[in-house]
Structures are given as structure tokens and as C-alpha cells.
Amino acid sequence: MGNVFLIAPLQGVIFSITIMIIELPILYFGIAMALASFKPLLGGLIIWLLL
């Protein structure tokens, strides 16, 4: 459980950089990805599929 608190923000930052490259709203998608990554396996996938 402790690693989730390290991985979730990191995943949000990496995703935000990716979103910045393809020119979408960075803050919204970055926060959504960080929050979704607390749900392992499917959380991040849900956000990617919305794009």
C-alpha cells in the first residue's frame, strides 16, 4: 500500500507530460490520472481510453 502513494503522483506527472505534448488540458488529465491510479490495473486504463 505504501508504494501506491509514490506511484500515483509519479504516474500523474508522466501522464501530464504526455498530455502536454499532445496539447490537451494538462491539469485536469494529470489529476484524473493520479486519482485513478489509486485503483490498480484499471484506473489508469480508464483515463487512457477516454482520450
Backbone φ and ψ for 33, nearest 5 degrees, come out as: -70, -40
Q: Are 13 and 27 in contact (CB under 8 A)?
A: no
Give the separation between CA 28 and CA 42, rounded to whole angstroms. Answer: 19
pLDDT at 40 over 80: no
Give the separation between CA 31 and CA 14, rounded to whole angstroms. Answer: 11
pTM: 0.56
pLDDT at 1 over 80: no
> Which structural domain range is residue 15 located in?
4-50
Considering its fold, how many domains does the chain have in total?
A: 1
Give the separation between CA 45 and CA 37, rounded to whole angstroms. Answer: 9
How confident is the model over 6-25, as pLDDT tens digits? 777 787 788 778 888 888 77
